[in-house]
Amino acid sequence: MLQKVNINFLKDPEEFKLSDPIFIEGLPGIGHVGKLVADHLVNELETEKIVEICSHYFPPQVMVEEDGTIRMPKNEVYVYKSNSGSPDLVILVGDFQSISSEGHFELVNAYMDIARKFNCSKIFTLGGYGVGRLVEEPYVLGAANNKELISELTSFGVRFDKGEPGGGIIGASGLLLGVAELDNIPAACLMGVTSGYMVDPKSASAVLDILMRMLKIEVSVEALDERAKEMEKVIAQIKEMQETAVQQWKSDEDLRYFG
Amino acid sequence: MLQKVNINFLKDPEEFKLSDPIFIEGLPGIGHVGKLVADHLVNELETEKIVEICSHYFPPQVMVEEDGTIRMPKNEVYVYKSNSGSPDLVILVGDFQSISSEGHFELVNAYMDIARKFNCSKIFTLGGYGVGRLVEEPYVLGAANNKELISELTSFGVRFDKGEPGGGIIGASGLLLGVAELDNIPAACLMGVTSGYMVDPKSASAVLDILMRMLKIEVSVEALDERAKEMEKVIAQIKEMQETAVQQWKSDEDLRYFG
Amino acid sequence: MLQKVNINFLKDPEEFKLSDPIFIEGLPGIGHVGKLVADHLVNELETEKIVEICSHYFPPQVMVEEDGTIRMPKNEVYVYKSNSGSPDLVILVGDFQSISSEGHFELVNAYMDIARKFNCSKIFTLGGYGVGRLVEEPYVLGAANNKELISELTSFGVRFDKGEPGGGIIGASGLLLGVAELDNIPAACLMGVTSGYMVDPKSASAVLDILMRMLKIEVSVEALDERAKEMEKVIAQIKEMQETAVQQWKSDEDLRYFG
Amino acid sequence: MLQKVNINFLKDPEEFKLSDPIFIEGLPGIGHVGKLVADHLVNELETEKIVEICSHYFPPQVMVEEDGTIRMPKNEVYVYKSNSGSPDLVILVGDFQSISSEGHFELVNAYMDIARKFNCSKIFTLGGYGVGRLVEEPYVLGAANNKELISELTSFGVRFDKGEPGGGIIGASGLLLGVAELDNIPAACLMGVTSGYMVDPKSASAVLDILMRMLKIEVSVEALDERAKEMEKVIAQIKEMQETAVQQWKSDEDLRYFG
């Protein structure tokens, strides 16, 4: 039976003996900046998958892989156990955000539960900040639930421009900061400025650059570019196909309700 | 009292002494291919109804039969107890899929419960794959939660074309595969390629042909054609009538909320 | 605290010592035919209010009476204790149907609970059947969960025309029949044929005429006409006002979400 | 974990030793009249925040302050302990109303719980009544769950015009009156007549004037004007930004559902 928010731990968090890990969230969103950076970290660092999350709040469908196998839409948590001076990481990546308004809150509660199980000492959520025009020199806009964190981030080049983002931060990247505040966990959102019209590796590399310096990790930036190109291609393909699917589903709507 | 998902067993599953039955799902969907095939099996084989499912996730209405009696929208499970070399079957057919996104998950959980109660060893979900143009020579596209099943299906002529269906599989036919995977039950979706514009007996017969060879059953294919014609007629009639109903309901909307 | 479906009994059903009462439902719907007839019965017969139903599934607002007092949207159940040859009646009238699809089922479960508390032996739901054009000689179309009831109703002039209403019966009038069937309570829907464009006293009087003969009750038919005129006036007024309200609410939407 | 309706008491209500306090609600709505007046009272009187309310029924986002800190959307309750002849007050202000229909009821249940915890003896809800044209001389329209309260309000100049507001009162300002009636707490809604097109300090000052005389409190009316100007500016800014945000979110919709 699939629970409304179905959390499946593949391993006991205790086993990793993480010390003060940092929680990083990078789910789909504007310009896919957050997803691009977090997916990249999971792939470039030596990480291990530890949690799978399925949910009634994801679209009611399965995806079909190239070889014909299906998979449930899911979000995943990976663990990076550092053996250098960088902190341990717990990274949330995945396919979807909630498709209903209330589901966002349920899912974020679940993400926070996971962060607590790992005793995460800090949270970074990653996203894009769309400005609706091409951005030559992307920079990173920040928001945080904690003033010291703002000072720290500023010292790494994150900008806190008055009145931006004025519309607030929608979805998991925003709500995680708010719910973390209730638990007194310092949390910040790093938003790569982007047009918002495409998967944006340039914006992602600006976010990645800050993260690398803050977390004292090093990963290839070139690979980010390739990942974005692939992602763009897959998205274009899926977009076209989903449009077809939706159209058929709709043109078939009356049939669907046939007795 | 009608539960959110109201499962009514007419008989104890144990009584049938089924051995390793195969679960088959054929609910309304694209081209009604799945429904057509599953309804056909239920009618052509010697089957017995064993479960009735009503739900808050179905449309809030009753249907009216030709003689003026009403019936609740419902899905039904039929049992086929084989007395030859073919496997026993548990067949899910019915009127509706969920009309809400979350309801899909609740209903699929219920379908899986039923499959488990019968100790089903395998699941086939049936559907259509709409391509938006007339299809001269329909074939059957597959997807599965299990690689061995893909090999087996391929040997029966099911095609696993790279990148299709790109948009994933929406509704019960897709989710059943995903939830079955959590239970380690091999499951595949057989999709008859179809225009998606009408009830498609040609596409259904392509699916039926594969099923008959795989399950070593034999049913009339001609009857399928007649069934489709009837279905088409009924659908046309109901479509027209429902449009009228919806229109009135809407034009009456302000009145509805009169105090 | 207001429950999702908030049932408030003003008196113990036992006190009335009803014998085999008949449950009658007349809520807002097409042409307000059902509401008009049921309201009329409540007013013309000597009835007593016994249940008040409020619900989260009604619109989130209160109504304002002419003297400035507010009242919650609510449905009500009245009891008619017969002192002649006619049967006792339990009559459900009110302001609203559910505004959500799932709410319809929750409310109908509650209505059936009430019918069971009174040991109702039969259910008549009242509604309109819109045909989209003016109807000179309205007649009454029927549907039932029971064949004997169809015979009985036919003998009183209710018509059971093949294939009508093709679109089924939406809302409480339909679902009550289906849920009553699960409890083996005979139930029928009486639909006055109507244009669907206005409150229709002519159609209502056709339904009332059948009810009076079946239930051996007598109430003024002229008053029905006046009630319809009043209802029409009030509806026109409320429609205009609600449009204004909705428009303002909408034009104010951005403001509403101001922090 | 954030509950569906998350009530956080910062202090024990008992500590305040309030005597027969009056509950005042002023949440966002038409012309922001209610919010303007209630915010003003909280700021001009010596009040103390005692409750914070977050909810799954608010938009799934956080707001970002000018300094880059985020905050969860929330409603708040302030206490005013009178040291003069005026009554003690419990004032509900905040960012949002529910964004779902059912959520309105859940939130109003929570507001009433709070009112009961303080043993509030009376409730005033504040709102605007939009007439769709500029209003030269705004007056205050009333509605109440209690006839004596209507007389009292009339003596202070509140108008109870026959048939207004015809569309009822939508949201917390309306439902609070209805739910309070179930608890036998006298409650009235004071609606400043307004165009409905902008934050309206003139309409707010009409409501404030009545409140001041009824509650024997005195606060600056000039400050109200300034507060409205600021609110207008902030709203304009946020509106523009939110439109951008929504547009990006939408243009990004297909991407969001990328696997």
Task: Compute CA distances A113 → A145, C18, D2, whole Å.
Answer: 18, 56, 11
DSSP string for residues in A109-155: HHHHHHHHHTT--EEEEEEEEE-SS--SS--EEEEES-HHHHHHHHH
Q: Give the pLDDT of residue D79.
A: 98
Q: Which of B72-81, C1-10, D58-67, D140-149 has the least mean pLDDT?
A: D58-67
Q: Give the CATH superfamily of A5-222.
A: PAC-like subunit (3.40.50.10900)
Of A59, A62, A255, the CB nearest to B28: A255
Q: Report the pLDDT value the prediction gives residue D259, as an integer from 0 to 100.
A: 29
Interface of D with A in 5-44 (CB under 8 A): none
Q: How confident is the model at residue A243 (pLDDT cuts 50, 70, 90)?
A: low
The pLDDT score that the predictor gives to residue A237 is: 62
Mean pLDDT, residues C148-177: 94
CB of D60 less than 8 A from some CB of A: yes
Q: Which residues in chain A touch residue D259, judged by CB atoms under 8 angstroms apart?
A: 63, 73, 95, 234, 238
pLDDT at residue D240 tops 80: no
Q: Give CA D213 to chain center in angstroms.
A: 19
**Which whole number is the average pLDDT over B21-39?**
95
Does residue D256 sit at the C interface (CB-CB below 8 Å)? no
Q: Residue D247's closest chain A neighbor by CA?
A: A132
Residues A221/A224/A226/A232 CA torsion (nearest 10 deg): -150
Distance from CA of D254 to the nearest CA of C (A): 25
In chain C, positions 179-238, which contact chain B (CB-CB < 8 Å)?
Answer: 179, 181-182, 189, 196-197, 199, 231, 234-235, 238
Task: Share the mean pLDDT of chain C.
Answer: 90
What value does the mean pLDDT take over residues D51-76?
Answer: 95
Q: Is the pLDDT of residue B82 over 90?
A: yes
DSSP conformation class of C111: H
**Residue D250: is its pLDDT beyond 60?**
no
B259 pLDDT above the threshold of 50? no
| Mean pLDDT of the region B129-136 | 88
pLDDT at C80 > cutoff 70 = yes
pLDDT at C241: 56
Residue D150 has its nearest CB partner, among C62, C69, C256, at C69
Q: Are the Cβ atoms of B178 and A71 closer than 8 angstroms?
A: yes
Give kind and range of the element (H or E) at residue B237: helix B222-251
More confident residue, B109 or C242: B109
Residue C175 to residue B69, Cβ atoms within 8 A: no
The yes-or-no verdict on residue B225 having pLDDT over 90 is no
pLDDT range class, residue D97, cuts 50, 70, 90: very high
Instruction: Specify the pLDDT at position C198.
Output: 83
Q: What is the pLDDT of residues A19-60, one digit of tens each?
A: 999 999 999 998 899 999 999 999 999 999 999 999 999 999
Instruction: Report d(CA D218, CA C97) in Å as an integer.
Output: 46
Residue B243 is given by DSSP the state H
Amino acid, res. A177: L
pLDDT of residue A248 exceeding 50, the answer is no
The 10 Å Cβ neighbour count of residue A216 is 11
Correct CATH for B5-11+18-256 of 3.80.10.10, 3.90.1150.10, 3.40.50.300, 3.40.50.10900? 3.40.50.10900
Torsion of CA C248, C250, C256, C258, to 10 degrees: -120
Average of per-residue pLDDT across D120-143: 94
For residue B238, what pLDDT is reported? 59
Q: Give the number of A-D residue pairs with CB atoms closer than 8 Å.
A: 148
| pLDDT of amino acid A98 | 93
Q: Give residue-wise pLDDT tens across range A96-108.
A: 999 899 999 999 9
pTM of the model: 0.93
pLDDT given at position D163: 80
* Best-predicted range by mean pLDDT (B80-84, B211-215, D240-244): B211-215
Mean per-residue pLDDT over chain D, rounded: 90
By percentage, how much of chain B surpasses pLDDT 70?
90
Chains that touch A (3 or more CB pairs under 8 A): B, D
Nearest to B251 among C97, C98, C197 (CB): C197
Strand partners, C126: C190
Could you read off the pLDDT of C129-150 as tens digits, one per residue?
998 888 889 999 999 999 999 9
Q: Would you place residue A241 in the very low, low, confident or very high pLDDT band (cuts 50, 70, 90)? A: low
Contact A69 B169 (CB under 8 A): no
Residue C208 has pLDDT above 80, yes or no: yes
On the question of pLDDT at A112 being above 80, the answer is yes
Please, which chains are in contact with C (at least 3 CB pairs closer than 8 A)? B, D
Interface predicted TM-score (ipTM) of this complex, two decimals: 0.91
Span C16-74, pLDDT tens digits: 999 999 999 999 998 899 999 999 999 999 999 999 999 999 999 999 999 999 999 99
pLDDT at position A74 is: 95
Average pLDDT on D229-256 reads: 58
Mutate one of D58, D62, D234 to test the A interface: name it (highest A CB count within 10 A).
Answer: D62
pLDDT confidence tier of residue A249, bands split at 50, 70 and 90? very low
On whether any CB of chain A is under 8 Å from the CB of B104, the answer is yes
Looking at residue C256, what is its pLDDT? 36
DSSP one-letter string for A191-229: EEEE-SSS--HHHHHHHHHHHHHHHT----SHHHHHHHH
Residues 133 through 172 of chain B touching chain A, CB cutoff 8 Å: 142-147, 150, 160, 162-171
Above 70 in pLDDT, residue B258?
Answer: no
Beta-carbon separation of D112 and C1 below 8 A: yes
Residues in chain C closer than 8 A to D132 (CB atoms): 244, 247-248
Task: Answer whether residue D251 shows pLDDT above 50.
Answer: no
Superfamily holding C5-223 = PAC-like subunit (3.40.50.10900)
Across residues D148-177, what is the average pLDDT? Answer: 94
| Mean pLDDT (whole number) for A59-73 | 93
Span A204-218, mean pLDDT?
96
Residue C248 has pLDDT above 90, yes or no: no
pLDDT class for A132, splitting at 50, 70, 90? confident
Q: CATH second-level architecture of D5-221? A: 3-Layer(aba) Sandwich (3.40)
Q: Which chain D residue's Cα is nearest to C74?
A: D178
Rounded CA separation B234/B231 (Å): 5
Among D243, D244, D248, D251, most A C-beta atoms within 10 A, so best to mutate, is: D248
> Are residues C68 and D97, on separate chains, in Cβ contact within 8 Å?
no
Whether the CA torsion A102, A104, A107, A108 is positive or negative: it is: negative
